[in-house]
Amino acid sequence: MDGPMRVLVTGGSGLVGRAIERVVKEGERREGEEWIFLSSKDANLVSAEETRSVFQKHRPTHVIHLAAMVGGLYRNMRQNLDFWRDNVHINDNVLYMSQEFGVVKVVSCLSTCVFPDKTTYPIDETMMHNGAPHESNYGYAYAKRMIDVHNRACFQQYGLRYTAVIPTNIFGPHDNYNIEDCHVMPGLVHKTYLAKKEGKPLEVWGSGRALRQFIYSVDLARLFVWVLREYDEVEPIIASVGEEDELTIKDAVDAVVEGFGFKGEVIYDTSKSDGQIKKTASNAKLRKYLPDFKFTPFKAAVKETCDWLAANYDIIRK
Amino acid sequence: MRVLVTGGSGLVGRAIERVVKEGEGREGEEWIFLSSKDANLMSAEETRSVFQKHRPTHVIHLAAMVGGLFRNMRQNLDFWRNNVFINDNVLQTAHEFGVVKVVSCLSTCIFPDKTTYPIDETMIHNGPPHESNFGYAYAKRMIDVHNRACCQQYGRRYTAVIPTNVFGPHDNFNIEDGHVLPGLIHKTYMAKKEGKALQVWGSGRPLRQFIYSLDLARLFLWVLRDYDEVEPIILSVGEEDELSIKDAVNAVVEGMEFKGDVIYDTSKADGQFKKTASNAKLRKYLPDFKFTPFKAAMKETCDWFEANYDIARK
């Protein structure tokens, strides 16, 4: 295509969308480029007509597709049908309209949580469809996997190089901090803030033994921009810190406690589910392309997130 | 029961219509056979209208975008999208209209390509399907995902059957697009009529289990009435009755009384080499079910095709 990109970012008001907005503003944007950040207020992407309208309005050349129905472990376990259906509709609408409107490239967002439950470790990009996902969120997992199926079929039938990124556990400012629904890091950050404020113990769900690789949203945002500009494969790419940086939930708890300077008791409620015990992902493919990419050190990133929540508590999503 | 059969004008739909008419229907039951003329099930509104019109208590969901090996290889995106829409519309609308039970139709061709044999019902999602029809395969697999999620969230007991290779009257006999047996029947008919050789695509070596549409129809009715699991059930002759494509060619040649040459074009793809499925679960429920012998079923199908050549879908 000729001329600068016009990039539509769906889910633009979310955790990753806000991070992309920030890195674009702080230097990643190039001359003449236009970046449009959509939220659910602009269009309900579950509806084909509303998706069409928003594509007609903006006529993007590129799309970063982040919008999804997401939730933490507990909400997924209760509503697998809704997670399956709504996400399939959102994804089909965005990918299909992109094709109709001649979008050159779409970068969608998957997750390591969609990988097979029974697997060898570390997991890599070739393994996504090698078995059934974890029982707790199979609706969401299959919907995300089908983005990759759609991309491959679209490439086979039309030659379009739409692709996807597979982050591990993301955290940062502008997350969903609702304690019932959210993911592990924002949940810890919010609960520690409240525990400190109310002078109560911090109650952590699960045993603390589950292992995760965490990626700071601002680092992921830089990688999304790189994928949009430079990554040419249809096969997705894992965006994560290396296996050597895998942490336990307890490590994460300790970092959040330190980030807030929390002095109270920490209690682990082992009656609550741990979810998957490990999901170790290989970032070898990323390192092959970007051997020198520097991730923000975990404790510093957690501190930034805690400071942001404390400064913005009134407006956070909760 | 008021039973809505989507894809009612197809191979399996017509077989169900016939067995219902010939004795399997029960007192007070109503059976409605839909075709694409009645509704385009890729449209949510048209699906809703047809459910509003008929208000079924039960659904046998056979409608799909289907094709043979070569069409699938060219149009994986269309096969994926169109079937996802059809399936989501039928299953979601059924749920909204309080349909008690939906029996959908999967296929052994959607199972993992790299697998041990025989395949069974627990293995559907254990790995990627064959590259040749992954769009269709994933769309069908997602019926099972939808059924399980719908049971988990709403307690519905929608289920599915998994036939092996189906054949019989009222099939799609289009040589480009049809499946292996109807393709062979049509080509043998033409070869016989034109006094030419019969050209078979592929080596003839791949192995398949074939199920006659009338047998499948009787089993569909049993599943609708008596099978209570959400997990799907394979409907097939046993592993001991697996045949090569060459065996099938010979049966068609015999059924058509074809006397000319038979040539195997090995430059054409064979598709999956084997897909051996276990019917142990079916046999556990129905140890005495009798399948129509293959040659007899083939003869009936060939006779039907010759008698109905003008109206056959081709």
Active site residue A121: no
- Tell me: the pLDDT tens digits for B227-272? 999 999 999 999 999 999 999 999 999 999 999 999 999 998 887 7
* Nearest chain B Cα distance for residue A157, angstroms: 6
SS (H, E, C) A34-68: EEEECCCCCCCCCCHHHHHHHHHHHCCCEEEECCC
- B-chain CB neighbours of A78 within 8 Å are 153
Does the pLDDT at position A182 exceed 90?
A: no
- Flag whether residue B46 sits within 8 Å of chain A, measured between CB atoms: no
Q: In chain A, whose CA is at the least distance from the CA of B79?
A: A153
Burial class (CB in 10 A: 0-12, 13-18, 19+), B216: buried
Is the Cβ pair A146, B92 closer than 8 Å?
Answer: no
- A-chain CB neighbours of B80 within 8 Å are 146, 149-150, 153
In this complex, the residue of A80, A83, A131 whose CB is nearest that of residue B126 is A131
**What is the mean predicted confidence (pLDDT) over A181-209?**
94
pTM for this model (two decimals): 0.92
- Tell me: the pLDDT tens digits for A106-140? 999 999 889 999 999 999 999 999 999 989 889 99
**What is the mean predicted confidence (pLDDT) over A86-92?**
98
Which residue type is seen at B308?
A: N
DSSP H helical ranges for A175-317: 184-198, 217-230, 249-260, 284-289, 298-311
Q: Phi first, then psi: what are they for A150, rounded to 5°?
A: -60, -45
Does the pLDDT at position A25 exceed 80?
A: yes
* Nearest chain B Cα distance for residue A153, angstroms: 5
Which of B77, B84, B87, B144 to mutate: most A Cβ within 10 Å? B77
Alpha-carbon A226 to chain mean position: 16
- Flag whether residue A105 sits within 8 Å of chain B, measured between CB atoms: no
Is the Cβ pair A81, B142 closer than 8 Å?
Answer: no
Q: How many beta carbons lie within 10 A of that of residue A198, not counting itself?
A: 9
pLDDT of A1 reads: 59
pLDDT of B144 reads: 98
Is the Cβ pair A85, B88 closer than 8 Å?
Answer: yes
